[in-house]
Structure 1
Amino acid sequence: MINTSNTLNLLPFIQLFESKNIPWQEHAARHDIPSTAIDTPSWVPSYKVFAFLSSMSALTGLNIGAHAGTLSSIDKLFPHLLDKVSTFEEAIAKLISAMTQISSHVTVWTQKIDGVWFLCYRSAYSSDSIGFEQTEWFRCFAFIEFCKRYLGQQWQPNNIHVQLDHIHPDLPKGYTKQQIVLNEQFGAIEIELTKDFEVLNNTQQSSDWFSTVIKLVDSYAHLPWFNIDWFCQLIGVSTRTMQRQLHKNNTSFLTLRNNARYRRACHSLRNSTLSIEEIAYLCGYNDISNFNRAFKRWSGQTAPEYRRYRTKP
């Protein structure tokens, strides 16, 4: 599967279950998540993790995602991630650049919304996917705990955005419904950053500028709103500079974006049993007809035809 999760991400959930004497091993086994995966970190299909967490939430009636998120600790799960990091700004930049080590289906970035900085995140799975509610709450509070390491244990964001259409009544102590904005395109927590903050300092001066840009486009191209203006703002490069540099490399931003989406679509069609609609979402399309037209233009085949041809025994 294209989307996998490191079993280390389950540690806060297991800690929560065991602190409340909630049996979990049998339920994990039903979803092909062996208990040994906790002691021996491995990658497992994300949809199985989602299904496991959904079943545990139904069993307990708890907002297990939020409570597990408050127990999460990035530096404990990935001990060397924050080596030589001393400031909040450095930590945010390191988190964004290393996110692929933590999860293959979650994208993280910073963005100003109404003049205020937010740490933003979005899963490649849609909000109606099984287990999405619990993983969305987990991401929210895990990132809050990450920020607390640098901003103090009493710190809380003034505003929280979620992709959910309702608020689970079981929120962690100290948080209120008034802080939470529903039905957003992506999750986000309000943070304080310096005015001159840049995630990727001097990317345009890199000796391997073009390769860096391609990697970044691959990371963000599946976002539905991904365009050159948004991307240039993200990395601190002017649109004109970006276009000029890409022209020197005989390509364009649209070509890079489409190539990234095409690669993701082909990989998913070949290596997963996801529906065409789900794959369209993974590639940044909220409308399946737009995805179908784009894929036919890229490959000369429809997505179902490509899947039948590429997956023949």
Structure 2
Amino acid sequence: MSHQPLLAVIVPVYKVEDYLRPCVDSILSQSYSNLRIILVDDGSPDGCGAICDAYAEQDPRVLSVHKENGGLSSARNFGLQYTEGCEYIAFVDSDDSIEPDIYEAAISYLEVHADVDIVGYGINEIRADGKFYCGEKEGRLFSREEALAELVQGFSFKVGPSAWSKVYRASAIGAIRFREGYVYEDNSFSLEVFNKINSYYLLPKGGYNYLLYREGAITSGFDTRMACLFDNIEDLQRRHADDATLCLYANTMAVNYLWMYWYQLYGAFVHKGQEAKYREITSAFLPYLKRARQRPFLNVIGTRVHSLKTWLFLHAPYTYTRINLR
């Protein structure tokens, strides 16, 4: 690639002192070299801020910025302020890392295919017993409608909601920002971005190394904060009430994620004799479930049996889950 467009890589940093260096080193060692690595110290109380500053002193591609603690969304949005002049944008969480050639592969494809706005890639789950690839064996081009349908399923590795498994054209993100003050913000952000793209391409390779179950990670375990995911989706619907298509996909995402979480929570707690905990957590989802069943949604699976199962779940979630998972 004779001309390398500038890629901004935004890394929110908070209480990851033991993981930060491997993360930043994996970005600096990319075969794609025209980078602006934006390390956002989100008011971290440990030595992370000093580590960020040290990297900025060592490499001119690194920008270290500091702010008061505001959470992951706030840090990502803060980093987006420093992407002017960058043609592409990527996100990396500071306790993870990336494969050395993934940005070159993604941008090479984007540079040749002007109609593609986002390139995604598979993830490697880093577990205690090894590294496991979660992705596809063959690349695939998705139209906007195909990508949206895949995204809202809630159980697809082809078009997952995570912001960190993709390289975006800066124009695809535009003025869209993450919702601040809430966790599980990637879903609504991705849905809003995918709603305006032309097409999406999935690379058939693992590019992102995702560390499972780090102590203190906000995605570890189950708790009532999961309700934030559905609150974020409803906020998206409120903000775009005049966009019937986006609201349809948003409610479809809500329905499918409610279904998925109900299953996961049943398996995590009821099968272990902790039904009270299961009821406590799922009760936080009930208001969202009641509103979701009153709004239109798509049957992205397509079968009549699935449609009937979805109706039963939305109207009697505890009965449906108990019958199907007994």
Please indicate, yes or no, whether the TM-score normalized by the shorter chain is above 0.5: no
The structure whose residues are more often helix, as a share, is: 1
Calculate the TM-score normalised by the size of structure 1.
0.31
Calculate the TM-score normalised by the size of structure 2.
0.30
